[in-house]
Structure 1
Amino acid sequence: MSDIRSLFATRLYRAALNELGPGVDAEELETSCYSIAEDDEAGQEWCEANDYPGYTSYASLTDLPWRFPIFADVKAALDLHVAAFAKDLEFELGEGKLELEDLWINILPEGGTHSSHIHPHSVISGTTYVAMPEGTSALKLEDPRLPMMMAAPTRAKGAREELKPFIYVKPSVGDVLLWESWLRHEVPMNMAEDERISVSFNYKWV
């Protein structure tokens, strides 16, 4: 009798940000994202110099949880989710722990994209979603084996999810998604007229 197993799982964590602990006020978070973007001249200059659509605080503000209480609330909530995901992944952390390394705002206007990338030097990465207008882009995740499938045929249109080369995940406002930082991902073009707002982050092993 044949035996076919699925090996080398790629895990994706999804939950409501406020599910495990202290609440984050969604309206205050959105207002704060816009306020920070308006005042962050260094971030605006970086976006312009690097042809980044919309706004990101990635290259300008590295201490949002210290500067703004609402982001301290976000960090407290994320810490709980990351701990739960690390337990599911069965990491052996020894005397170490997973600690927030950086956290940044993304405001993506109509027509904006974020090309395929990974997050080197981190363990767990993710995003929590602040504004997801109707018709905006989902998160696109890439099978990490894809570069090694040089001679493989394409998958059937109705292939099982675990066999597809790309997975699209459409989060809702208030969701948090977590994945291991080596997983390649991208944000396809925002086709909505309104802005797509998210807060992304990395956790490192210390």
Structure 2
Amino acid sequence: MSQIESLFATRLYRAKLSEHGDPIDQSELEASCWAIANDDEAGQTWCEENAYPGYTSYASLSDLPWRFPIFGDLVAALDKHVAAFVEDLEFDLDGQSLVLEDIWINILPEGGTHAAHIHPHSVISGTTYVAMPEGASAIKYEDPRHPMMMAAPPRRKDARRELKSFVYVAPDVGDVLLWESWLRHEVPMNMSEDERISVSFNYKWA
């Protein structure tokens, strides 16, 4: 009898941020994101010079937990989510752990996009969602085997989710998504009139 099995799984972790640690006040987190964005002149300048839509603190700030205590609470919760994902991935960390490498704010206005990219030099990357107004874009993940699919025909529109070339995930406020950092992803155009706000992060092997 023939047998077909799936090999080399690409895992995606999704959970409510509140599953680990004390609940995070999302309204306070959103207010903190805006306060930082409004005061971060270096970040605003970087965004203008690099034609980055909206605002990101990625290139300007590395001390969010020091600036606002709620980011310290957020990192404490994220540490637990990442630890749970590491267990699922069955990593052998040789007695070490994954630690936060960087964390930054993203504020994407109407019409803004974030082009497809990966996060080199990190192990786990992720995002937690602070404001997702109606019409805000999902996150789009790309099959990492694309460079090897030289002559492969396209998948049917009704293909099983694990066989699709691209997968869209529409998160809710308070969700956290985690994936291995080599997984290519992007944020399509924000079709909402309001800003899409998220906090992204990388974890490295200490």
* Pair in the same fold by TM > 0.5: yes
Hey, what's the Cα distance between the residues in 2 that align with 1:22 and 1:99? 20
Query: Identity percentage over the alignment?
Result: 77
3-state SS in 2 of match to 1:8:
coil
The residue correspondences of 1:142-161 to structure 2 (distance < 5 A) are 142-161=142-161
Aligned residue number for residue 51 of structure 2: 51
Question: For structure 2, which runs of at least 5 residues remain unmatched after alignment?
Answer: none
CA contact 1:112–1:190 (8 Å) conserved in 2 = yes
In structure 1, runs of 5+ residues without a counterpart are: none
Contact 1:138 1:188 in 2 (8 A): yes
Say what the alpha-carbon RMSD is for the aligned residues. 0.5
The answer for the alignment partner of 1:178 in structure 2 is 178
Name the residue aligned to 1:202: 202
For 1:37 and 1:70, locate their aligned partners in 2 and report how far apart those are by CA, in whole Å: 15
Q: Which residue of 2 aligns with 1:7?
A: 7
Contact 1:22 1:76 in 2 (8 A): no
Counterpart code for 1:127: T
Q: Does residue 105 in structure 1 map to residue 105 in structure 2?
A: yes
Deviation at 1:145, TM superposition (A): 0.3
Give secondary structure in 1 for the equivalent of 2:19: coil
Paired residues in the alignment total: 206
Amino acid at match of 1:204: K
Q: Distance in 1 between matches of 2:50 and 2:185?
A: 20
> What does 1:80-99 align with in structure 2 at a 5 Å threshold?
80-99=80-99
Q: Using the alignment, how far apart are the partners of 2:29 and 2:42 within structure 1?
A: 21
DSSP-derived class of the 1:18 partner: helix
Q: Alpha-carbon deviations, 1:47-90, whole Å to 9, x = none?
A: 00000000000000001112210100110010000000000000
Distance in 2 separating the partners of 1:59 and 1:96: 28
Shift of residue 119 of structure 1?
0.2
Give, in angstroms, the shift of residue 95 of structure 1.
2.4
The match for 1:125 is 125
Moved over 4 A (4+): none
**Superposition deviation, residue 96 in structure 1:** 1.5
C-alpha offsets along residues 101-142 of structure 1, whole Å, 9 cap, x if unaligned?
000000000000000000000000000000001011000000
Q: Distance in 2 between matches of 1:130 and 1:137?
A: 13
The equivalent residue for 1:134 is: 134
Structure 1, 58-67 or 124-133: larger mean CA deviation: 58-67
